[in-house]
């Protein structure tokens, strides 16, 4: 069930872009769910159940949850969450693994394929609501309060911190795998995409501790329509800012208007740069990653997964930006492609578009 995902060395791109190495963690195969998100949801579900059942999480193992008595108790537990797709799929999968129920709510504009994948992963029900992401989170929160369900949300706010903290701890599995797979290479630059910033903040904190002797330059990447971390940093008073309205972007996983309060301080204090970018940047990167000449370098990277590679390419085109960020022929770049084709039809449509785009980029 658990298997490390690959760290792919993009040698062709590194050569072309004039850097020493580009390492890309490919999360498209994680747990068969096509995104890193299951790491967080499953760990939080596990911790909640340990607490409810009086098990010590430090030595509890999956077989502890398979006895008839425990299965019976788990079947009474109901989880609820809001999601733009991947988190809900992870919670649905983990809930059914432990024999619990899960209700999942999604914002307006969510792809039907992503909704169906959540039900297929084991949710009792996944529903697309006529609300934006932030409002769906509030809706799920009320559902939990009114029905006595447990909210497993991948973002935090004042008074709701314990479960999101567990979710971030689950994501750190990626950090541990990356450090092992880097095999002695020390990244000089790390690009992390962000929705609420729980993943980016967690991984940033983890890597900056591991590489404390020579801390990499961290860049946070968001869709320009909904760059809430960039807006928070720009405000300059240390507090979070929300982006309201109904932002539209193909990067569904990053379409979140309010930063996660527990990871924001890490990002605020340690990120060097913020990039807000258009959908086109991600689309170009999806095509390029899908079609590298060498098969071992090809990656199925979805809309939210490919964007950091796209941003790197844009930065390298701009000499002054490159200089400011200290990117040169000695740079070792680390990227995480956080999802595969989680909306297969949308992915195919983008990747099938004109090949000339790549030729254009390479000119
Ligand atoms: C594929 C993908 N990448 C990145 C993220 C961003 O994670 P976070 O919301 O913790 O910033 C998400 C969030 O759902 C996602 O689904």
- Whether 220 lines ligand 1, by a CB cut-off of 6 Å, is no
Cα(302)–Cα(283) distance, integer angstroms = 9
Does ligand 1 have an atom closer than 6 angstroms to the CB of 193? yes
Half-sphere exposure of 16 (CA within 13 A, CB side): 15
Q: Does the CB atom of residue 87 touch ligand 1 within 6 A?
A: yes
The answer to whether 310 touches 335, Cβ cutoff 8 Å, is no
Catalytic residue from among 84, 134, 279, 343:
84
Residue 35: predicted pLDDT: 98
Mutate to test the pocket of ligand 1, among 33, 34, 37, 90 (most ligand atoms within 8 A of CB): 37
For residue 154, report the distance from its CA to the centre of ligand 1, in Å. Answer: 9
Residue identified by tokens 């006895």 is: 67
Would you state the pLDDT for residue 247? 92
Q: Which residue is closest in CA terms to ligand 1's atom 13? A: 253
CATH number attached to the domain at 6-36+171-362: 3.40.50.1100
DSSP letters, 15-77, are HHHT-SEEEEEEGGGGGGTTBTTHHHHHHHHHHHHHHHHT--TTT--GGGG-SHHHHHHHTT-
Mean pLDDT (the chain) is 96
Residue 84 falls in the annotated catalytic set = yes
Is 194's C-beta closer than 6 angstroms to any atom of ligand 1? yes
Can you give the residue ranges of every domain in the chain? 6-36+171-362, 38-153
Q: What is the pLDDT of residue 363?
A: 42
Q: Write the residue with the smallest CA distance to atom 14 of ligand 1.
A: 253
- Asked: is 38-153 a CATH 3.40.50.1100 domain? The reply is yes
48 φψ region: left (φ > 0), alpha (ψ -120 to 50), beta (else): alpha
The per-residue pLDDT for range 188-210, each reduced to its tens digit, is: 999 999 999 999 999 999 999 99
Q: Which residue positions in the chain have pLDDT lower than 70? A: 355-363
- Tokens linked to 113: 């394929």
**254 Cβ closer than 6 Å to some ligand 1 atom:** yes
- Strand blocks (E) in 182-252: 189-193, 217-223
Residue tagged active-site, from 25, 34, 37, 135: 37
User: Ligand 1: distance of its center to the CA of 64 in Å?
Assistant: 31
Q: Please tell me the distance between residue 86's alpha carbon and the centre of ligand 1 in angstroms.
A: 8
Protein residue whose Cα sits closest to atom 12 of ligand 1: 253
For residue 355, the model assigns a pLDDT of: 52
Choice from 195, 240, 305 to test ligand 1 binding pocket (greatest atom count within 8 A of CB): 195
Residue 196 Cβ inside 6 Å of ligand 1? The answer reads yes
Give 124's strand partners: none
Q: Tell which one of 254, 299, 309, 342 to mutate to probe ligand 1, the residue whose CB is within 8 A of the most ligand atoms.
A: 254
Is 341 labeled as catalytic in the residue annotation? no
Calpha distance 41→46 (Å, rounded): 9
Helices (H), 211-334: 228-235, 264-270, 279-290, 303-317, 319-325
Task: Count how many Cα atoms sit within 13 Å of the Cα of residue 213 in the half-sphere of its side chain.
Answer: 2
Give the atom of ligand 1 at the shortest distance from the alpha carbon of 342. Answer: 1
208's enclosing H/E stretch is: helix 198-210
Fold agreement between 6-36+171-362 and 38-153: yes
């Amino acid at each position: 069930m658990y298997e490390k995902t690959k760290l792919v060395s993009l040698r062709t791109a590194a050569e072309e872009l004039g850097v020493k190495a580009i390492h890309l963690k490919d999360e498209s195969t994680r747990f068969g769910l096509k995104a890193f998100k299951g790491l967080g949801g499953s760990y939080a579900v596990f911790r909640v159940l340990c607490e409810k059942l009086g098990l010590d999480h430090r030595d509890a193992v999956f077989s502890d949850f398979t006895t008839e008595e425990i299965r019976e108790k788990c079947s009474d537990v109901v989880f609820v969450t809001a999601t733009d797709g991947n988190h809900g799929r992870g919670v649905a999968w983990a809930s059914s693994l432990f024999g619990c129920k899960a209700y999942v709510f999604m914002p307006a504009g969510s792809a039907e394929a992503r909704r169906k994948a959540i039900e297929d992963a084991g949710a009792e029900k996944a529903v697309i609501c006529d609300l934006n992401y932030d409002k769906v989170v509030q809706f799920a929160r009320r559902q939990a309060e009114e029905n006595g369900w447990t909210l497993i949300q991948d973002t935090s706010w004042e008074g709701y911190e314990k479960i999101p903290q567990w979710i971030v701890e689950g994501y750190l599995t990626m950090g541990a795998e990356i450090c092992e797979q880097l095999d002695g290479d020390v990244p000089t630059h790390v690009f992390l995409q962000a929705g609420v910033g729980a993943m980016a903040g967690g991984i940033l904190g983890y890597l900056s501790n591991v590489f404390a002797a020579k801390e990499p330059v961290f860049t946070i990447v968001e869709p320009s329509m909904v760059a809430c971390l960039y807006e928070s940093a720009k405000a300059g008073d240390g507090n979070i800012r929300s982006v309201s309205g109904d932002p539209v972007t193909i990067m569904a996983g990053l379409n979140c208007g309010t930063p996660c309060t527990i990871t924001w301080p890490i990002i605020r204090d340690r990120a060097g740069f913020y990039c807000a970018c258009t959908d086109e940047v991600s689309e170009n990167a999806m095509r390029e990653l899908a079609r590298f000449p060498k098969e071992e370098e090809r990656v199925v990277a979805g809309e939210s997964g490919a964007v950091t590679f796209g941003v790197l390419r844009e930065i390298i085109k701009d000499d002054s930006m490159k200089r400011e960020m200290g990117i040169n022929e000695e740079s070792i770049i680390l990227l995480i492609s956080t999802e595969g084709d989680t909306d297969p039809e949308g992915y195919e449509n983008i990747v099938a578009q004109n090949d000339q785009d790549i030729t254009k980029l390479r000119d």
